[in-house]
Chains A and B, each alone.
Chain A
Amino acid sequence: MIGTLREILEQSWQRLAGTATTYVPPLVAATVIVLAAWLIAAAVRGLFLRLTRMARLDRFVVESGLSSLLGRTRPLETAPLVAGVIYWLILLIGLLTGLSAFNTALTNKMVEAVVFLLPKLFAAGLILLAGVWLGQYLGRSALIWAVNEGLPHPRRLAAGVRVLVVFVSVVVAADHLNFARTVFLAAFVLLVGGLVLAGSIALGLSAHGALRHLRETARTREEEKSLWDHL
């Protein structure tokens, strides 16, 4: 009885020792790598912030309209933003290197998946960013046009343009990532089809009213034309 118990304990101890000798060194190595990456990331971020005043980058961000991406009227603080991106990128690389120190099938697969997915995610992110920027830009154009033309509900029109452009960019990004491709494409087709149908119905229903309104507007404009011609 005692022999059996001793045998079990010895086996458990051996298993524990085996596990420890297998996993503790990589764990220590991974911890050291992640810590080193964290230190490097923090140092690079600090150095970047200290060295660059980022005047040029700030100018580029403002001039390219990126600062007004989120409807901001003041420029984005570019230096901390870029420094933050660099920080997290170094940390991510450290984390992946740390994971690869375990050299197990699972960790290797995880690292491989991330490395494989990262460029695609990056490209999809860029597509989304471009879509949001373009949506914002075209939305603004539509808003100003609608206001200057005296159209009703200019904000709704602008929002519609923005949503449509962003949605198109989401579809393209999803297609690039091969993620729910058919769902997004179907939604896109439904949206465009719905818009065309709604437009046709609206046109049909309001043709009479619109014609009357146009006639009235033409008459008013005729009266005002004189000043308009001399502006």
Chain B
Amino acid sequence: MLTEEARRAISEIRKADIVVGIPSYNNARTIGHVVRAAQAGLAKYFPQLSGVIINSDGGSKDGTREEVLKASIEDPRLLLLATPLLPVHRLSLPYHGIPGKGSAFRMIFAMARELGARACAVVDADLRSITPEWMDLLLRPVLHAGYDFVAPYYHRHKYDGTITNSIVYPLTRALYGLRVRQPIGGDFGISARLLARYLQRDDWETDVARYGIDIWMTTIAIAEGYQVCQSFLGAKLHDAKDPAADLSAMLQQVVGSVFTLMREYERVWRAVRGSRPVDLFGFRFDVGLDPIPVNLERMRRALLTGYRELREIWAMALDAETLRDLATLCRRAEAEPRDWRFPDDLWVRTVLEFACAHRRLPVERGHLLRSLTPLYLGRVASFVLETEHMISAEVEERIEQLCLAFEAAKPYLVARWDSAVGTPVPHAQPAPVEVRK
């Protein structure tokens, strides 16, 4: 798991109270800022604790690692109101194994364990909005309030984080009953206890090694009863992702991880009804966000092409009634390009039926997940149409409605999950259930 270089670094540093991990791949443009923010945050908020900033790099060719080693806060113009008693080390190491964020995290976690860290924070390398306060917000709940997992809470543009808003947040919340708003946010605080649990697991070589890592960490923390909280970090502004990254693969890895963990934690989510809020640290404030231009036509076309070409594959997962409703939806989307909507109820049924099919048809899992892309794009297009003139609070209210629809459909999920192999369950109207506020 650890390279020779990493072992050498550990034997030199020996011990650290805090580890800050930054996974990277070609992030030379932004990583210097992230390292400086982390370094200043450790110096300012935890001057009495020893810290290490570890950059786990996936083979960048743009000088990312050099930027990490170059970044420094030794600037006379920078005034810290605390004098660090202990140095903050900076390391930049390449990781081995499957290329991806998860593999980078694995090395960071293993090093944190070896260094005896009491808390570990991980932040993305492409962040433009990170400030030193993020270190305080991610680490203090772990170090001083007994939390094991600190999830981020950001202000994001209404069209930012659509995988989170349309699938991952509502589904995770409905399954495990905790309202963790950014389960795949990417910036987390983790306790030593939880780190040890992550490292104990043997599924690191799956989608967890790539984009599945965030939801994997969040789900384990919630489902295994660790103390979870959120910290308000302000705005999340980040650089463009790897242009080569394929949306379909990303969706497959994230949603595939959610579905896989559903099988593992079946006993946990079966018993859960409704959801409850999670403790939130930090002072909430509104911030200006970069506008996100949208090409609705391309997403609408993706849905229509998907319906035309992938119907047979969807039929492996979906009920006859769901398919019929999708047909009606697509006809409408074709006839009236700006006056169609993907109803919450239909979207919820679609996602839940795919989750059940993912369990039932192991050989077809890859196909099913990849065939979800046009449906997902259709849902995003509908969401954009619906929220075009809404302000951020109204959009949040709209997402809340979707979450409630997911929670209300829980009995339907359980019934379908339990059904015999290949036997379709008669479509059940989601029954209203009590929601604990």
Contacts and interface: CB of A to CB of B under 8 A. Distances in A.
A133 to B, nearest CB: 10
Which among A59, A63, A144, A150 has the highest number of chain B CB atoms within 10 Å?
A: A144
B295 A63 contact: no
A62 B421 contact: yes
Contacts of A227: 159, 292-295
Contacts of A224: 293-295, 298
A6 interface: no
A122 interface: no
Interface string B358-375: 001111101100110110
B422 A74 contact: yes
A75 interface: yes
Interface in B296-336: 298, 301-302, 305-306, 309-310, 312-313, 315-316
Contacts of B161: 230
Interface string B156-188: 010111110000000000000000000000000
B361 A144 contact: no
B240 A225 contact: yes
Contact of A67 (B247, B306, B312, B422): B422
B371 A225 contact: no
Contacts of B401: none
B380 interface: yes
A116 interface: no
A140 B367 contact: yes
A225 to B, nearest CB: 6
Contact of B361 (A63, A145, A223): A63
**Chain B binding surface SS class:** helix
Interface of A: 55, 58-59, 62-65, 67-68, 71, 73-75, 137, 140-141, 143-148, 150, 154-155, 220, 223-231
B166 to A, nearest CB: 10
Interface residues of B, number: 44
A224 to B, nearest CB: 4
A79 to B, nearest CB: 13
B246 to A, nearest CB: 8
B310 A147 contact: yes
A223 B241 CA distance: 15
A144 B367 contact: yes
Contacts of B246: 148
Interface of B: 157, 159-163, 240-241, 243, 246-248, 250-251, 292-295, 298, 301-302, 305-306, 309-310, 312-313, 315-316, 360-364, 366-367, 370-371, 373-374, 380, 420-422
A231 B247 contact: yes
Nearest to A224: B295
Contacts of A150: 301-302, 305
A146 B302 CA distance: 11
Contact of A144 (B292, B370, B380, B421): B370
Contacts of A63: 360-363
Contacts of B420: 55
A176 B316 CA distance: 35
A73 B312 contact: yes
Nearest to A72: B316
B371 A231 contact: no
Contacts of B360: 62-63
B373 A148 contact: yes
A154 B312 CA distance: 14
Contacts of A73: 312, 315-316
Contacts of A75: 421-422
Contacts of A68: 316, 364
B362 A71 contact: no
Contact of B305 (A140, A147, A223, A226): A147
24 contacts: A55-B421, A62-B422, A63-B360, A63-B361, A63-B362, A65-B363, A73-B315, A137-B363, A140-B367, A143-B310, A146-B309, A147-B306, A148-B370, A154-B305, A154-B309, A155-B309, A220-B298, A224-B293, A225-B240, A226-B292, A227-B293, A229-B240, A229-B241, A231-B251
Contacts of B250: 231
B358 to A, nearest CB: 12
A225 B243 contact: yes
Nearest to A133: B363
B350 to A, nearest CB: 16
Contacts of B306: 147
Contacts of A226: 240, 292-293
A58 B421 contact: yes
A143 to B, nearest CB: 6
